[in-house]
Amino acid sequence: MATKKSQTAVRSSRRRTPPTAREAHEMLTGKKPVKVDSALIKGLLQRDDPKGTTLAAVRRYVESGGDVNELHTTPRVFMESLLHLAVAHGHLEITRYLLEHGADANLPNGGPGETPLQIAVGPWDDPKLVALLLDHGAAIDGPPEADRTPLAEAIAAGRTRIATLLRKRGAREG
């Protein structure tokens, strides 16, 4: 007869630990993820890229086969795509590059499930960034499960230039 301690050991050895984000990506896409340079993430977390070093790092990542829609997790980032990070920090040219290379303008992030358009409405009153996302297929009213539309968020945050653009493009306020 097995002892209580050995039964527990057998049960615990059968448990499978959940996959890491990188393992989950490989299981879902069938591709090994390309490692993201920590300097790339750090650059995206800055407001400016005056020397173009972050854009160059994004280009290297994409050209080496990196998945532009992979959700990255680092000590400072949880389940965000490069597009989410570029939008959140106002990187217009990096956003343009990522969208032109297949980034999904409607991809929800892994935290609260926000799309790049929902993020773009928040920190900056930059209608160019919002227009770029809309021109690349971002859902103007956000995902159906969202509590508020991007237009409602823009109004609540006092982002008047974004609210004007969204209204001109036919967004609903609800």
What is the predicted pLDDT for the residue at 12? 46
Sorting pLDDT into bands at 50, 70 and 90, what band is 20? low
What is the predicted pLDDT for the residue at 124? 78
Average pLDDT of the segment spanning 40-46: 87
Sorting pLDDT into bands at 50, 70 and 90, what band is 118? very high
Sorting pLDDT into bands at 50, 70 and 90, what band is 55? very high
Rounded Cα distance, 26 and 63, in Å: 19
Residues contacting residue 52 through CB under 8 Å, at least 6 positions apart = none
Residue-wise pLDDT for 127-173, tens only, equals 999 999 999 999 999 998 888 999 999 999 999 999 999 999 999 98
Residue 155 CB neighbour total at 10 angstroms: 18
